[in-house]
A and B are shown apart, each in its own frame.
Chain A
Amino acid sequence: MAKILLEMKNITKTFPGVKALDNVNLQVEEGEIHALVGENGAGKSTLMNVLSGIYPHGTYEGDIIYDGQVCRFSNIKDSEKLGIVIIHQELALVPEMTIGENMYLGNECGHKYAIDWNKTYSEADKYLKMVGLSESSKVQVKTIGTGKQQLVEIAKALAKKARLLILDEPTSSLNEEDSRALLDLMLSFKKQGMTMIIITHKLNEVSYVADKITVIRDGTTIETIDNHGKEPVSEERIIKGMVGREMTNRFPKREGVKIGDVEMEVSHWTVHHPLYPERKVVDDVSLYVRKGEVVGIYGLMGAGRTELAMSIFGQSYGVNFSGELKLNGKHVKLKKSEADAIRHKIAYVTEDRKGNGLVLSQSIKVNTSLANLDAISSHTVIDGDKEYAVAEEYREKLRIKTPSVEQLVGNLSGGNQQKVLLAKWMFAEPDVLLLDEPTRGIDVGAKYEIYCIINDLAAAGKCVVLISSELPEVLGMSDRIYIMNEARIVGEMKAEEATQENIMQVILRSGRGA
C-alpha cells in the first residue's frame, strides 16, 4: 500500500450558528487523484480552506497530518511552503498583467528589492510548456481564453513547487474539449508522482480521473469509494451518496405535453463580432420553436449559442445584423433595446448569473421585480406591498430557500440564486424563454428542481429554448435538439432519435467539412 501523504482527522469547524464540518476524515495517498464530491454547501470548500490555512490553526478542531507531521498552518504561505497549493474555482488572475507576472504574483523571484524579470519569464515559459501551453509568458492574460487561463493557474501552482495540488471545480467554466484536455493533463501529472485533490460537480469527470472518491454530505464524510474496479464507478452510485437516496430519474418526466403552433421563428440570422466585425459569431442560423416545446441547443462553448440568444434578445450582442424574426407568424423588427424585446415577451436568462444576471447587493424582492417593474407600479410609483407579495409568491412557487425575501441575493447559494434569476424572468411573463446554461455550477438536487420549473413553463404553453453544453441535460429535457458548431446550426434532431453518439458525430462531421 502506498504511503499516505495527507490525513485530515476528525476535522470540526463551526461558524457562528452552523457546524460547517462535523468530524470529517480524509485520507489521501501519495500519487493518487482524490475526488471530493458533495452538494453545494456540503462543506467541500470549507475543508479545503482548513487544509490550506485560510482558516488558521485554532479556529477548527482536529488534526492535519501531512507527510507524517502534524501541521499547524496559520496562513496560506505556511501550507504553500510544504507544497500544498490550492487553485480556486474563480480564476485569480490579473487580466492586465502578463502570464509571467501572474504566475509569480506574491512569489516574485529575484532579490528582495528587485525582481529578476529574465529569470521570471524563462522559468514561467518552462512551466507553461509542462502544462502544454505554447503561449509566451509575456502575453497579457486577458488575450487568452478561459481554458488557457485555467492552465496558467496550474502552471502557477507548479511554479510554487506543488506536491499536493487542490483543484476546486477546475472545469466549471471550460467547454468539453478543454475540460478533457485538463483532465488528461492531470493524469499525466499523476504519472510523474503528483498528488491531487479535485472538487467537481461533473460526475463523469470524477469517474474518469479519480482513484478514490470521498463523498461529503451536510458537513460529514459519508463514504470513500474506490475507483479501481473493472467498471468505473457509476454516476448513480456517487449521486446516491451525495443526496442520500437513489435518484432514479435525474430528469423529471413531462406530463400532458401539448405542443402547439410555431411561436418564434428565426431565419437567416447572422451576427458579427462587436470588436472584429469581419468575424461572424452567428452564421445564417434558422430555427423555430413551438408553443409548449422545449428546444435544446447543444454546442460547445464558443459555438455561438450565447451570441445567438443575446442577439435575438434585443440585439444586445454584436453588430451588423441580418436575418428575420417572426413571432406568432408576424414579422417583428426589434429596436436595438432589451426593453423592446421584453415588451415582445422574449426573455433571456443569462449563463452568468453573478456577472450580468443578478444585482447581488440588492434583495430577492428587488431582483424579482426588476424586469417588470411597471406591473407593480402605477405612474412610476412602486407599490411596495404588491412587490412584496409578488416576491413571496415566487419564493413559494420556486421554493427559494431563504428566511425572507428581503435577504440580499449575494447571501444565497448558487442554486437559489439561479431560482431568483428564473423568478425575475417568469414574473416578466414572457412567451419565449431563452435559458442559457440554466444549471451551471449548481448541485444535483437544485438541478432537478430547475428542470421541474422548465417543464412547468412548457406545460403552461411557453416556448423554452434550452442552451446547454451538458449533453445529458439536453438529451433528457428537450423535445427537439439543434446542434450548433462554429457559429452555424449543423444538425436538428427529434429527442427520440438523438443519442450522445450521433450528436457528437454530427459535430465532428461538420468540423471536418469546414
Chain B
Amino acid sequence: MNKQSLLAVLKKNAMLIILVLVYLFFLIMTKGGIFSPSSFTELINQNAYVYILGAGMLMCMLTGGNIDLSCGAFVCLLGALGGVFMVINGLSTGVSLLLMLLIGIAYGVGLGFLIAYVHIPPWIATLAGFLSFRGLGTSILSANSKTGSLSFASKTDFLNLFYGRIFPTEKGVFNWPCFLFGAILAAAVVLIIFMTRKNRLAKGYEADSMRTAAIKSGAGAAVILLVMTRLAMDGGIPTTLLWVAGIILIYSFITSKTTIGRHFYVVGGNMEAARLSGVNTKRIMFLAYLNMAVLTTIATMTVLARSQSAYADVGKNFEMDAISACVVGGVSASGGAGTVLGMVIGATLIGVINLGMSLISLDANYQRVIKGFVLLAAVVFDIVSKKKSS
C-alpha cells in the first residue's frame, strides 16, 4: 500500500481513528481501568439509549436535517406513566409495556401528522413536547409518590428483560455461551465480507482488494471477540446489548438496502426531485417521526430498567446526546447523508469520553467543558480532513 492510499484510508475513517486514539488515551490515564470487564458492560448499558435514540434521530435528520427535541422529555412522561401502570396500578409487565408502546405510537402518529401533513416545522412541533412533557411527567410522579419517584425494584421480569444477562454467571467466571456467541458472530463477519467480495468479483464489479478485505474482516472479528471475551468475564451478554445490536442491525439494513431507506436519503437530498420521481414525501416525513416515537419508547424501557425507577430528571438532555451522536458520526445537518455505522461510532466516542472522565473522577463541571471541546474538535478534524481529500 503506497503512502497516498494509506492517507486516503486514514481520512475516510478519521472518526474511527479518533475513537481509537481517545480510547488509548483513557487506557493510559485510567491505568487500564477502562479495559476492565465491568467497564465494557458499563459502556453498553450507559449508552444504550444514545444508540437507540440515535437511530431514530438519524432517520429524522436524513429527511433534511430535521430533529426531534421532545424525545428526552417524552422519556420522562412515558417513564412516569410506566411507573403508574406497573407500580401503582400493579398491571403485569407485558400489559404495561404494551400500553407504553401504544402511547408511543399515538404520540408518533400525532407528531408525524402535524409535521408531514400540516407542515409544522419539526423543531417547533417537537419544542411543544420538549416544554410540556417533563412538566406533565413530574406532576404525575409527584401525584403518585411522596418522593417524586417510582421504583421498579420489585418488577424483576421487567428488569431482566432490559437490564439482565443472557445465561448469567458469577463475575470473574468465564461465561462460555457469551464467548461462543462472539466466536460465531466473528466468523459470520469474516464470512460475509469474503462472500460479498467473491460475489462482486464474479459479476465483474469493483471489489475490495484481498488485503483490504483481510484487514477489514480481521479488525471486525478482533473487536467482536475482544468485546465478547471481556463481557464473558463480567457475567455474560447484557440483554441491553441485544436490544441495541438488534436495532443497529435493523436500521443498517433499512438505510442501506431497502427502497424505503433510499427514499429517506433522496427526500433529504432533494425533496422536489424525490416528489417528482414518485416518492411519497409526506409519508416519509410521517414515518420518520412515528419511528422516532417508537424508538423513544424502547429507549425509555432500557433507561427505566437501568435506573430501576422513574424520576423527574430521567431523560434529561437525551435529545442532545442523540443529535450529537449523529453529528459527530458524520450525519449531514442538512439531510441526505449519514450512516447508521457513523452514528454508532459517534455515540461510542461520546460514551468513551463520558466513561473515561468519570473513571479518572474528574469534576463533573470540567467533564462538561472537556466534552464540549472534544466533540467540537472531533467534528472540525473530520470536516477539515474530508475537505482536503476532495
A366 to B256, CA, bound (A): 12
B156 interfacial contact with A, CB 8 Å: no
Q: How far apart are B271's CB and chain A's nearest CB, in angstroms?
A: 8
Contacts of A384 in B (CB 8 A): 257
Within 8 Å CB of B372, what residues of A? none
Q: Is B269 engaged at the interface, CB distance under 8 Å to the other chain?
A: yes
B271-312 CB contacts (< 8 Å) to partner A: 272-280
Tell me if A381 and B269 are in contact (CB < 8 A).
no
A382 — which chain B residues lie within 8 A by C-beta?
Answer: 257-259, 262
Which residues from 335 to 352 on chain B have a C-beta closer than 8 Å to any C-beta of chain A?
A: 336-337
Q: Is B203 an interface residue (CB 8 A)?
A: yes
Nearest A residue to B278, CB-CB: A339
Q: Are B272 and A355 in contact (CB under 8 A)?
A: yes
Partner of B259, one of A339, A361, A373: A373
State whether B272 touches A356 (Cβ < 8 A).
yes
- CB–CB A381/B266 < 8 A: no
Task: Enumerate the 10 nearest inter-chain pairs by beta-carbon distance, A residue then B residue, closest first.
Answer: A356-B272, A359-B269, A339-B278, A371-B277, A359-B270, A342-B278, A373-B259, A361-B269, A370-B277, A338-B278
Asked if A338 and B275 make an inter-chain contact with CB atoms under 8 angstroms apart, the answer reads yes
Bound complex: CA A337 to CA B332 (Å): 29
Across the interface, do A366 and B259 meet the contact criterion of CB distance under 8 Å? no
Q: Does A385 contact B (CB under 8 A)?
A: yes
Tell me how many residue pairs across A and B have CB atoms closer than 8 Å. Answer: 81
The docked-state distance in angstroms from the alpha carbon of A357 to that of B269 is 11
> Smallest distance from the beta carbon of B61 to chain A beta carbons, Å?
14
A316 contacts B275, C-beta separation under 8 Å? yes
Complex partner residue of A380 from B259, B273, B278, CB under 8 angstroms: B259
Cα A279 to Cα B337 with chains together (Å): 40
Contact code string A339-361 (vs B, CB < 8 Å = 1, else 0) = 10110000010100001111111
Query: B215 at the A/B interface (Cβ < 8 Å)?
Result: no
* Complex CA distance for A110 and B270, rounded to whole angstroms: 41
- B277 and A424 contact, CB distance less than 8 A: yes
Q: Shortest Cβ distance from B65 into chain A, in angstroms? A: 12
Which chain A residue lies CB-closest to B196?
Answer: A384
Closest approach, in angstroms, between the C-beta of A425 and any C-beta of chain B?
9
In the complex the two chains form, is B266's CB within 8 Å of A370's CB? yes
A90 within 8 A of B: no
CB pair B266 A362 closer than 8 Å? yes
* Residue on B nearest A406 in the bound complex, by CB: B206
Query: What are 6 residue pairs bridging A and B, where the CB atoms are less than 8 Å apart in the complex?
Result: A314-B278, A338-B276, A339-B279, A358-B270, A360-B270, A371-B277
| A361 and B336 in contact, given A382-B257, A388-B205 (Cβ under 8 angstroms) | yes
List the A side residues contacting B274 at CB < 8 Å: 359, 370
Interface residues of A in 398-436 (CB under 8 A from B): 404, 406, 424
Across-interface contacts of B279 in A (CB, < 8 A): 339, 370
Across the interface, which residues of B come within 8 angstroms of A373, CB to CB? 259, 262
Quick check: is B245 within 8 A (CB to CB) of the other chain?
no
**Contact residues of B between 76 and 103, Cβ < 8 Å to A:** none
Instruction: Give the residue among B203, B262, B270 with the most A Cβ atoms within 10 A.
Output: B270
A residues in contact (CB < 8 Å) with B = 313-314, 316, 337-339, 341-342, 348, 350, 355-362, 366, 370-371, 373-374, 377, 380-382, 384-385, 388, 404, 406, 424
Q: Identify the closest chain A residue to B275 (Cβ).
A: A338
Question: By the criterion CB–CB under 8 Å, are B273 and A316 in contact?
Answer: no
A97 to chain B minimum Cβ distance, whole angstroms, is 22
Q: Which residue of A313, A358, A366 contacts B262 across the interface (Cβ within 8 Å)?
A: A366
- CB of B26 within 8 A of chain A? no
Chain A residue contacts of B337, Cβ below 8 A: 361
Return chain A residues, CB-CB under 8 Å to B270.
356, 358-361
State the Cβ distance, A142 to closest chain B Cβ, in Å: 18
Q: Which of B203, B270, B276, B280 has the most CB of A within 10 A?
A: B276
- Given the known inter-chain contacts A380-B259, A382-B258, A384-B257, please indicate yes or no for A359 contacting B205, CB distance below 8 A: no
Chain B residues, CB < 8 A from A355: 272
Q: A337-B278, A339-B280, A359-B274 are in contact. List 4 more A-B contacts (CB 8 A).
A: A316-B275, A362-B266, A362-B336, A380-B260
Residues of chain B within 8 A (CB-CB) of A385 are: 199-200, 203, 205
The verdict on A357 contacting B273 (CB below 8 Å), with A362-B336, A385-B205 known, is yes
User: Per-residue CB proximity of B239-281 to A under 8 Å, as 1/0?
Assistant: 0000000000000000001111010011001101111111110
CB–CB B269/A360 < 8 A: yes
Give the distance in Å from the alpha carbon of A65 to the alpha carbon of B273 in the complex: 46
Q: How far is the CA of A371 from the CA of B259 in the complex (A)?
A: 11
Known: A358-B270, A370-B266. A381 touches B257 (CB 8 A): yes
Complex CA gap A424/B276 in Å reads 11
Q: How far is B255's CA from A322's CA once the two chains are assembled, in angstroms?
A: 40
Chain B residues lying within 8 Å of A348, measured Cβ to Cβ, are: 276
Contact at B272–A362, with CB atoms within 8 Å? no
Interface residues in B81-127 (C-beta closer than 8 Å to A): none
Determine the residue in chain A with the shortest Cβ distance to B334: A361
The contact of A366 among B203, B205, B265, B278, by CB within 8 Å, is B265
Q: Write the nearest CB–CB distance from B363 to chain A, whole angstroms.
A: 43
Contact B259 A356, beta carbon cutoff 8 Å: no
Instruction: Contacts A342-B278, A385-B203, A388-B205 given; indicate if A359 touches B259 (C-beta within 8 A).
Output: no
In the complex, which residues of chain A have a beta carbon less than 8 angstroms from the beta carbon of B277?
338, 342, 370-371, 424
Docked-complex contact B259 and A377, CB < 8 angstroms:
yes
Contact B258 A380 (CB under 8 A): yes
Identity of the chain A residue whose Cβ is nearest the Cβ of B260 in the assembled complex: A380
B276, A350: Cβ atoms closer than 8 Å:
yes
* Nearest-Cβ distance from residue B181 to partner chain A, whole angstroms: 26
Q: Give the Cβ gap from A159 to chain B, nearest Cβ, in Å.
A: 33
Contact A371 B257 (CB under 8 A): no
Q: Which residues of A contact B199 (CB under 8 A)?
A: 385
Which chain B positions have C-beta within 8 A of A316?
Answer: 275-276
Are B273 and A358 in contact, with the CB atoms below 8 A? yes
Known A361-B337, A382-B258, A385-B203; judge A356-B265 contact (CB<8 A). no
Q: Are A359 and B336 in contact (CB under 8 A)?
A: yes
State A359–B277 Cα separation when bound (angstroms): 11
Nearest CB of B to A392, in Å: 9
**Nearest B residue to A341, CB-CB:** B278
Which residue on B lies nearest to A369, using beta carbons? B262
Bound-state Cα–Cα, A371 to B257, Å: 16
Q: How far is the CA of A360 from the CA of B274 in the complex (A)?
A: 12
Bound together, the chains give a CA A381 to CA B260 distance in angstroms of: 9
When chains A and B are docked, how far (Å) is the Cα of A370 from the Cα of B264?
Answer: 12
